[in-house]
């Protein structure tokens, strides 16, 4: 099926309509979930702040997230086509060809690689591990209900990777914030998976809600979010952060509690608010308190 945006012919150059569909396909606006965490990791690192680091961390994040989301859409195109909730996505609907999505992915990875030449040299060795995580995650839902942790491990790299990118060193300190972000992502992915529980059961797609039911899945989500807060505290200790940072962690903990309260086994009506609105607020709040701790401290 041809995209409506191709009706003007096959002239060379970037088709604005096609680009718009690509950006919608990867949920461009949801970058707000990950980018503030990356900035937080950068600011918490024991190196002087620089505009150059800010710019290239942003470029790296845009490239990494675009590649990750597009790879997910490519690998899961068959599953998405069968799921009524996702059948209207660009690839199943024919608005974007798989070949075009691959070109978009390669361009995004090139953007990530470009950024590594302006960050610590170690990033030019480690970037393939980031992309590997994006490739592995979509396949995990085909054989394990722990797929949520795989997503968390891949997406949660943002703050830890930013720390390494500006310090050039690998230590235990960024591992703590990576674990905190990973469990945060995994916890809210469990909530999001509630939308597809019936489909997953019928099509043998693995998830915690499909394997154990809504109630137990929500319990696991809450445990993971509690552990996320614990790791954020451990990160503050390891990084030598101040009182303002810990105040921010308290606020994040309260927001996670509120997010969890929005979703109950017998009432999923506020699930979208819990997933989209609250997660954007939480990541932004965390960044603000890390910034304040850096400025005040």
DSSP for 182-244 reads HHHHHHHHHHHHGGGHHHHHHHT---HHHHH-HHHHHHHHHHHHHHHHHHHHHHHHHHT--HH
90 part of a folded domain: yes
Flag whether 3 is in a domain: no
- The Cα–Cα gap between 167 and 160 comes to 11
| Mean pLDDT of the residues in the chain | 89
pLDDT value of position 134: 95
Lowest mean pLDDT among 6-10, 69-73, 279-283: 6-10
β-pair partners for 267: 264
- Tell me if 9 is assigned to some domain: no
Tokens of 147: 């797929």
In this model, does residue 123 exceed pLDDT 50?
yes
**Nearest-angstrom CA–CA distance, 79 and 196:** 11
Cα separation, 240 vs 266, whole angstroms: 43
pLDDT digits (tens, 9 = 90+) for 227-249: 999 999 999 999 999 999 999 99
Q: Provide the residue range defining the domain that includes 193.
A: 19-296
Kindly tell me if the per-residue pLDDT of 218 is higher than 80. Answer: yes
Measure CA 123 to chain center: 19
Percent of the chain exceeding pLDDT 90 equals: 75
State residue 270's pLDDT score: 74
* Domain CATH code at residue 157: 1.10.357.140
DSSP symbols for 32-64: GGTHHHHHHHHHHSSS---HHHHHHHHHHHHHH
**Is 8 within a domain?**
no
Indicate whether 6 belongs to any domain. Answer: no
Q: Which residue has the higher pLDDT, 155 or 10?
A: 155
7 within domain boundaries = no
Instruction: Report the domain count for the chain.
Output: 1
Q: Is pLDDT of 24 > 50?
A: yes
Looking at residue 118, its pLDDT comes to 97
pLDDT digits (tens, 9 = 90+) for 187-206: 999 998 998 999 999 999 99
Sequence-ordered list of residues with C-beta below 8 angstroms from that of 68, at least 6 positions apart, any chain: 133, 134, 154, 155
């Amino acid at each position: 099926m041809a995209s409506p945006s191709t009706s003007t012919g096959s002239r060379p150059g970037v088709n604005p309509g096609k680009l718009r569909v690509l950006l919608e396909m990867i949920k461009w606006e949801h970058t707000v979930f990950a980018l503030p965490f990356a900035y937080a990791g950068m600011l918490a690192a024991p190196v002087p702040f620089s505009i150059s680091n800010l710019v290239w961390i942003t470029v790296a994040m845009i490239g990494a997230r675009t590649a990750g989301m597009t790879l997910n859409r490519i690998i899961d195109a068959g599953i998405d086509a069968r799921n009524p909730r996702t059948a209207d996505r660009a690839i199943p609907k024919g608005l974007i060809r798989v070949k075009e999505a691959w070109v978009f992915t390669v361009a995004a990875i090139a953007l990530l690689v470009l950024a590594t030449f302006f960050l610590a040299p170690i990033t030019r060795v480690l970037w393939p591990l980031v992309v590997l995580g994006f490739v592995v995650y979509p396949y995990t839902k085909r054989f394990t209900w722990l797929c949520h942790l795989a997503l968390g491990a891949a997406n949660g790299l943002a703050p830890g990777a930013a720390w390494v990118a500006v310090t050039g060193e690998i230590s235990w300190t960024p591992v703590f914030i990576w674990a905190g972000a990973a469990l945060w992502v995994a916890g809210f992915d469990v909530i999001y998976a509630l939308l597809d529980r019936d489909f997953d059961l019928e099509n043998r797609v693995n998830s915690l809600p499909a394997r154990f039911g809504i109630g137990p899945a929500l319990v696991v989500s809450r445990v993971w979010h509690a552990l996320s807060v614990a790791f954020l505290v451990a990160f503050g200790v390891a990084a030598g952060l101040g009182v303002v940072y810990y105040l921010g962690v308290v606020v994040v903990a309260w927001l996670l509690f509120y997010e969890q309260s929005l979703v109950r086994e017998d009432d999923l009506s506020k699930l979208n608010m819990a997933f989209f609105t609250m997660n954007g607020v939480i990541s932004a709040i965390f960044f603000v308190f890390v910034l304040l701790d850096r400025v005040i401290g």
